[in-house]
Structure 1
């Protein structure tokens, strides 16, 4: 029966040593000690704790019996070994102290936009230079930094960033920012404008907020047609006044969507995975595992990066970068008509969400059929949707410099 965890832990702390004696009479001298004996060739192997082994050596030496220590294991043997090599425990203590001390300094400074926004390399470099000038730089002592003050001081001087924060994780400082959003492509409310139709349909009703309605209920409209005019003419004087037209025009519209799903598809079959592991410390890299991808093979590359963390949450300035190469081969297979229909339906659902959004759907008609082509049969799903939607779009109204 295997020993339990308690017995193994006990043997580690008490030690588990093995003696070899040749004389059977010497075995009688050890009767008061706790040991287990196993016959080996012409002698005995005795397993006992470190304390009993020391007592046994003393008794055997006094009696003049021959013996030998075959092995020593456990904590007492480890301490005895280190007592003759003081550099090992001293180095371990110094390494722990150094790691604990280094964890209070910033060793890496990274920057990334918030919530998956597009990166701006020039702005990020300016951001790094700015916070470094304010004291948040590599080698800075973290407890002395007022990160809120650093962010406030930078935002007060830079209008290109509307929000920023500095998050400290171990020895890494992560700068997060939000770029200032401008109204590019939007029409100022003070600018003259018209309201036109985004697509053709039949007007259900017009809700005019400003301007003069150019269409009425039941009118047929075409894409780009004027719906609400921002040019208001005084009937008495004939003077034209320009305003920012706004409003909503709800119309019956029709959308015809088509999705194609070929019956013959390509399927990836994944095989081996190879990894390239690299350690980075202060700008220097060391490969633990190196892999050169096969030029004639297809693979997917997955990259992961993380910091080396010691027990106790001490994050070291060591970055571990892992590139995983997932090799695959491509096989062709024929899918059933039901599978193709489900794939086409998924495409139609995405199109409806993209084109119609929250508009009210009045009716929907689907038509599915197979079409033979040179590359193989294709399942085609054609969907006709009638809905009520707001077709109004505000566009700038060009005005002459003389006011005409």
Structure 2
């Protein structure tokens, strides 16, 4: 690789030799220090390569040995420089580009996050921007230690973070905090309350003092089993426990499903329109002269960042693809609309069956204007027992404070 680069800098000339004393010609080239390589013999003579400066030194040697030389091809920096010697703009552009790259190397071109699993990358990038680490930020103004401390305060989900600056890239390594699940301590006082309104059909109390019985109607949030256990003797005092129970309640739920008789269908025409825009350091620069197509279409957006020498450039190219469609209306018959409504009703029953029992169901369907409507009334049964932790402020008295005191959310 180095030899090829060196030859490109010096320039490469391929030439042919014929007639005269070719072997003597090559020997004299070696004595004179003229580099010659890739020597290949052919039916008409010999082809070889040398540098641009060496080719000028071959003319006297060829004349001395009676060899005829002919240029085949040439290339490399000297010939390119000669070809564009009068185009000053190219030289100025190259210098400006070099200055641009040198200046931009003092700014962050790319921010990469490693270790994020459950935390959204957009959320982390937003917090990093608040502490001064973002695409386009001046590297000299970034205090990585201070930025790490601020990120720990802004992002409680983190247990560790390291911000590393490499050239014009910022690599942010994080470790997420293992958040403990919100569980109720089994030793703490806890009431059993109703998750919804209904009539109690079945109840099993494992621990605690029942406040209601089978057949009673219970309101959402009402205590079913109290954590306070009253004393059984005159001298024995009451105490609090962790109430547990299973409470099956029955309740009614009304479901309404409406299926329109006219349905809008969108059929692709096959025509595709693409619009591109450039996002550079927070600025959006459109690369098109016209806006989105006025015809009905389905839009897809794709964003990518190009790389230069393996380094991501601090710009993003967003491509919006519009697939044109034809919109027309399909009309359903009453039977087709009824079938779709019943399918949705069956899906509701299937979903509820995984968490409860359907005791009974009545349903009726009818046309209402441009819709087919199904009204259904369900009698459902479900375990409505929910544990709710309480605060015990005072010593338990003859009356249970859990029933009248404030509960902890």
Q: TM-score range by the shorter chain?
A: 0.5 to 0.7
Secondary structure at the residue paired with 1:161?
coil
Give how far 1:76 is off.
5.8
Q: Which residue of 2 aligns with 1:375?
A: 370
Give how far 1:320 is off.
0.9
Secondary structure at the residue paired with 1:319?
strand
CA deviation digits over 1:98-143, x for unaligned, max 9?
97997897325599x97586987xx9765534364xx9983449xx
CA deviation digits over 1:49-77, x for unaligned, max 9?
xxxxxxxxxxxxxxxxxxxxxxxxx9969
The answer on 1:213 being equivalent to 2:210 is yes
The answer on 1:198 being equivalent to 2:189 is no
Q: 1:370 to 1:197 in 2, by over 3 A?
A: closer
CA deviation digits over 1:267-290, x for unaligned, max 9?
234555443322233445543213
Give how far 1:212 is off.
1.2
Q: Which residue of 2 aligns with 1:130?
A: 131
| Whole-angstrom distance in 1 between the partners of 2:357 and 2:242 | 31
Give how far 1:202 is off.
4.7
Q: Which residue of 1 aligns with 2:355?
A: 359
Give how far 1:192 is off.
5.9
Structure 2 unaligned residues grouped into runs of 5+: 1-12, 15-42, 45-72, 405-409
Q: Which residue of 1 aligns with 2:109?
A: 107
Contact kept, 8 Å, 2:109 with 2:312, in 1: the verdict is no
| Whole-angstrom distance in 2 between the partners of 1:77 and 1:119 | 48
TM-score (norm 1): 0.53
Q: Which residue of 2 aligns with 1:319?
A: 316
| Whole-angstrom distance in 1 between the partners of 2:162 and 2:337 | 49
- Aligned match for 1:264, one of 252, 262, 265: 262
Give how far 1:196 is off.
2.2
Q: Which residue of 2 aligns with 1:392?
A: 385
| Whole-angstrom distance in 2 between the partners of 1:104 and 1:344 | 65
Give how far 1:372 is off.
1.5
Q: Which residue of 2 aligns with 1:233?
A: 230
Give how far 1:159 is off.
6.8
Contact kept, 8 Å, 1:110 with 1:173, in 2: the verdict is yes
Contact kept, 8 Å, 1:202 with 1:253, in 2: the verdict is no
Q: Which residue of 1 aligns with 2:305?
A: 307
| Whole-angstrom distance in 2 between the partners of 1:191 and 1:317 | 57
Structure 1 unaligned residues grouped into runs of 5+: 1-13, 16-31, 34-73
Contact kept, 8 Å, 1:202 with 1:221, in 2: the verdict is yes
Give how far 1:298 is off.
5.0
| Whole-angstrom distance in 2 between the partners of 1:344 and 1:78 | 78
| Whole-angstrom distance in 1 between the partners of 2:197 and 2:280 | 59
Q: 1:255 to 1:79 in 2, by over 3 A?
A: farther
Q: How much is the aligned-residue C-alpha RMSD, in angstroms?
A: 6.0
Give how far 1:365 is off.
6.2
Q: 1:145 to 1:195 in 2, by over 3 A?
A: same
